[in-house]
Chains A and B, each alone.
Chain A
Amino acid sequence: MSNDEKLLAILALGPDAEEEEIRTAYRRLAKRLHPDSSRDPSTATQFARVTRAYKLLSARPRTAPGSASGPQARYRHVLAAGDDLFALGQILASDPDAGAREAAARRLGLSGRTAAYVFLRRALYDPCPGVAEEAVRSAALLGARQAAGEIAALYSRSAPRLREAILKTAAATREPLFKSTIAAALRDPDKALAELASSVGAVL
């Protein structure tokens, strides 16, 4: 994981996130975690981490704006759906292209509406691990507590790669919704993952 990738993970974003997505994710997280807005004092540390990550990311040299290879450029219909949760949910449920489903899962997370989880949860059952991984990040971005049990179940039925990705998202975002997943991961037969889980468990 490169340094940038680590910073993006703190904002619950994948390695290919674009400038605009970084801004949106930060805005959503700040709104949810800012000590003035959150009634839970423990989010203050989380807020500080998120802010630091965002500052470092904004200071880095910019890539060419609107690079043609970015996922946004490739999936215009996903972009065109905008914040229409229904349209995004439709893409998640029916688009044959896994890349489009991934992009839709990400947009649902960036919508910042907790309610978007009703559409997002379908992606946790997606046959393509990439889509499920994106959905886990989006659930973390939304802070959807209702996702806890389903993400834990996803963890227990997935291959090691996706299991690792889920734990990394948990480690980076430190969202409480991952508590159940960590509890399951502590007994992971893969020793490295079990160790990762116990270190995440310690900070959660």
Chain B
Amino acid sequence: MVPVIGIDFGTTNSLCAFMDGDRPTIIPNGRGARTTPSVVAVSPRGDILVGESARNQAFINPGSTIAGVKRHLASGSLLSMGGRTWRPEEIASFILKSLKADAERHLGSEVREAVVTAPAHFSERERRAIVEAGRLAGLDVRKIVNEPTAAALARAWYASQTAPRPLGPGKGRQPAGGPENRQAARRAAGPASEAKASSVILVYDFGGGTFDVTVLRQGGSDCHVLSSRGDGRLGGGDIDRELYRLAARAFAEAEGLDVEKDRLLVQGLIDQAEKAKIELSERQHADLSLPFAMVGEGPGARVIHPSYDIDREAFEALVRPFVDRSLELTDRALKEASIGKGEVDILVLSGGSSRIPLVRRLIEERYGLRPAGGVNPEEVVALGAAVSASLSEGSERLSVHDVVSRTYGVEIDGGAFVPLIRKNSPVPATRSRVFTTVEDGQDSVEIHVLQGESRDCREDLSLGRFLLAGIAPGKAGGPRIRVDFSIDESDILHVSAVDLASGAAQAISIADLGRGAAAESPAELVAKASVLASRIGELKAGLELESGLEAELDEAAGRAGKASEAMSEGELRLLKAELEGLVGELLARRGEALHA
């Protein structure tokens, strides 16, 4: 069987992994290294260089080198390298091609398909750019997985193994944290086959360019995303720049050297800053130096060797605001998931910046958590991508479910918004609530369905209104009207209202829940079509339908069965919308049949 590889395409480094039997394993590159710098260059002879060799000559040849192409994906801007311009997708494809070649050499077989990870905040266009880069590299990108989800998948995979050395979270718990905690630690640290109770996983992903935090719940082989938060402008690179600024200021004051004037010096000093940052994770001191820098011009020019020494304390003062911001986002993600600080069972650190000792210390102080061992933070995403790749090959051992991306509810008297299904609830989500009337003898109520986070419904988005008539007359506050909300896998919100006294019922189905039709890739549209088609199959069972509608259902289901990514996007969207319309009709007919 041709293996599907998992690729962590990073801003600074990229990795590639595959499932070695049952175990996700990193594939080393041609130099034997486990990570490949995401740097592409053209050599003076016109060869394309990728990785370490490209980075090594970046210093002497910055005009022919491109680093951090991930930031430019789908920007529409062209990048210049070696005297010509390139699309970002082309540059990215060189990196993917190099990883593909490494994988083929390591596995001894051809590789055609891959699962690639992307930051959770990546737009659809950026995701499509990755697919395009894969195509250029001769890789069929089966799936784009969010990086935090991949990290959690890797951890979940390890936890589900009855490995001789269980990678349990037990060590991460403070043993003094109370009897429940100890119990939880024991439960989770035992052989994974016994750890059936669900556990909450916190993925703290502090990478080179971005920060993402995700809360997941894993029970058995199921993995639900509870909430996710991120900041696209919070990453290790920002720490490097802060450190660079500090050093540059020091050089300007001490030696009168203006680093900014020379692109080479800027690049050199930023590289030094990054090295110093990494150094400070292990040691108490590090220095940044720029040997043989020139100051002044003409005959007054002189060569200096400035250096700047920074200790861990000064570094931590510099990093503190970044870490505080990340913890603030973590608090918010936990709050959204309704998870208390003490309820997280497993902490997964991902991204190189999460190695900073201050990060680990503050997390431990705040949440009483230590990272689960056994997985390297730089590698966990790639390993998760490999796990995801094996899932897409049909292994059913783990699955990740979607969550509702917005809050849905109804308007009540006085214009207040009452949420029923909250953001980040796992799909399928259902919720009922009983409402009543505000006037004596009121025989109908209007149900106004909204989406939004504000308590004031004027600030929320109106999705539709429907009227429930035929309420058994009574005093104000007497009638009991049950409103049911449900969102199923087909992503349709179905709201129904029933007067519990008279049995009068009314319903509405709303498709296109503003996840943004534009945000769906062709692959997602195809998948959605098949979900909708199977939903239609379920719903029409037992209903008496006129043959015209039946023919329409069959015809649409037939087209859904033949849907493929090769169809134009317009066709796929229309197909999806039509299927949604039909599901809405069937839901309405079922409701009628139920209350007839």
Residues of A bordering B, CB below 8 Å? 31-33, 36-40, 43, 84-86, 89, 112-119, 121, 125, 144-146, 148-150, 152-153, 155-157, 180, 183-184, 187
Q: Which residues of A contact B443 (CB under 8 A)?
A: 187
Inter-chain CA distance A148–B570, complex, in Å, is 29
Contact check, A146 vs B446: say whether CB atoms are below 8 A apart. no
Contact check, A146 vs B587: say whether CB atoms are below 8 A apart. yes
Closest 3 CB pairs of A and B: A149-B466, A115-B581, A152-B467
Of B465, B546, B577, the contact of A85 (CB 8 Å cutoff): B577
Say how far B191's CB is from chain A's closest CB, in angstroms: 50
Which one of B96-104, B408-416, B422-430, B503-511 is at the A interface?
Answer: B503-511
Say how far B413's CB is from chain A's closest CB, in angstroms: 15
Contact check, B467 vs A149: say whether CB atoms are below 8 A apart. yes
In the complex, besides A114-B552, A145-B592, A180-B506, 20 extra interface pairs with C-beta distance below 8 angstroms are A32-B549, A36-B547, A39-B545, A39-B546, A40-B546, A85-B577, A86-B570, A89-B577, A114-B585, A115-B556, A115-B585, A119-B581, A125-B464, A144-B588, A146-B584, A149-B507, A152-B444, A152-B466, A156-B467, A180-B470
B573 within 8 A of A: yes
Say how far A110's CB is from chain B's closest CB, in angstroms: 14
Contact check, B585 vs A144: say whether CB atoms are below 8 A apart. yes
Say how far B591's CB is from chain A's closest CB, in angstroms: 9
Inter-chain CA distance A38–B546, complex, in Å, is 4
Contact check, A145 vs B581: say whether CB atoms are below 8 A apart. no
In the complex with contacts A85-B574, A156-B444, A156-B446, A150-B508 CB distance below 8 A: yes
* Number of A-B residue pairs with CB-CB distance less than 8 Å in the complex they form: 117
Inter-chain CA distance A38–B507, complex, in Å, is 24
In the complex with contacts A117-B581, A146-B508, A40-B467 CB distance below 8 A: no
Inter-chain CA distance A194–B494, complex, in Å, is 31
Say how far A142's CB is from chain B's closest CB, in angstroms: 9
Residue in A closest to B517 when the chains form the complex, CB atoms: A86
Say how far B482's CB is from chain A's closest CB, in angstroms: 15
Residues of B479-516 at the interface with A, using a CB-CB cut-off of 8 Å, are: 504, 506-509, 511-512
Of B465, B466, B468, B549, the contact of A114 (CB 8 Å cutoff): B549
Inter-chain CA distance A157–B580, complex, in Å, is 27
B548 within 8 A of A: yes
Residue in B closest to A89 when the chains form the complex, CB atoms: B577
Contact check, B512 vs A148: say whether CB atoms are below 8 A apart. no
B535 within 8 A of A: no
Q: Which residues of B contact A150 (CB under 8 A)?
A: 464-466, 508
Say how far A134's CB is from chain B's closest CB, in angstroms: 18
Say how far B281's CB is from chain A's closest CB, in angstroms: 54
Inter-chain CA distance A37–B548, complex, in Å, is 7
B231 within 8 A of A: no
B249 within 8 A of A: no
Contact check, B585 vs A146: say whether CB atoms are below 8 A apart. yes
A and B contact pairs by CB, cutoff 8 A, 8 listed:
A38-B547, A85-B578, A113-B578, A115-B579, A146-B507, A150-B508, A153-B465, A156-B446
Say how far A12's CB is from chain B's closest CB, in angstroms: 15
Say how far B365's CB is from chain A's closest CB, in angstroms: 52
Contact check, B444 vs A118: say whether CB atoms are below 8 A apart. no
Q: Which residues of A contact B468 (CB under 8 A)?
A: 149
B54 within 8 A of A: no
Inter-chain CA distance A41–B570, complex, in Å, is 39
Of A114, A157, A180, the contact of B582 (CB 8 Å cutoff): A114
In the complex with contacts A115-B556, A180-B469, A145-B546 CB distance below 8 A: no
Inter-chain CA distance A59–B592, complex, in Å, is 39
Contact check, A180 vs B547: say whether CB atoms are below 8 A apart. no
Say how far A37's CB is from chain B's closest CB, in angstroms: 4
Residue in A closest to B465 when the chains form the complex, CB atoms: A153
Proximity bits, B137-175, A CB within 8 Å = 1, else 0: 000000000000000000000000000000000000000
B125 within 8 A of A: no
Residue in B closest to A144 when the chains form the complex, CB atoms: B585
Inter-chain CA distance A125–B462, complex, in Å, is 10
B396 within 8 A of A: no
Contact check, B588 vs A145: say whether CB atoms are below 8 A apart. yes
Q: Which residues of A contact B545 (CB under 8 A)?
A: 39
B540 within 8 A of A: no
B297 within 8 A of A: no
Inter-chain CA distance A12–B545, complex, in Å, is 21
Contact check, B469 vs A152: say whether CB atoms are below 8 A apart. yes
Say how far A182's CB is from chain B's closest CB, in angstroms: 9
B253 within 8 A of A: no
In the complex with contacts A37-B547, A39-B547, A149-B506, A115-B467 CB distance below 8 A: no
Inter-chain CA distance A93–B523, complex, in Å, is 27
* Residue with the highest number of chain B CB atoms closer than 10 Å, among A84, A112, A121: A121
Q: Which residues of A contact B574 (CB under 8 A)?
A: 84-86
Inter-chain CA distance A125–B570, complex, in Å, is 25
Contact check, B544 vs A40: say whether CB atoms are below 8 A apart. yes
Of B444, B507, B585, the contact of A117 (CB 8 Å cutoff): B585
Inter-chain CA distance A152–B587, complex, in Å, is 18
Inter-chain CA distance A59–B549, complex, in Å, is 30
Contact check, A149 vs B582: say whether CB atoms are below 8 A apart. no
Residue in B closest to A147 when the chains form the complex, CB atoms: B588
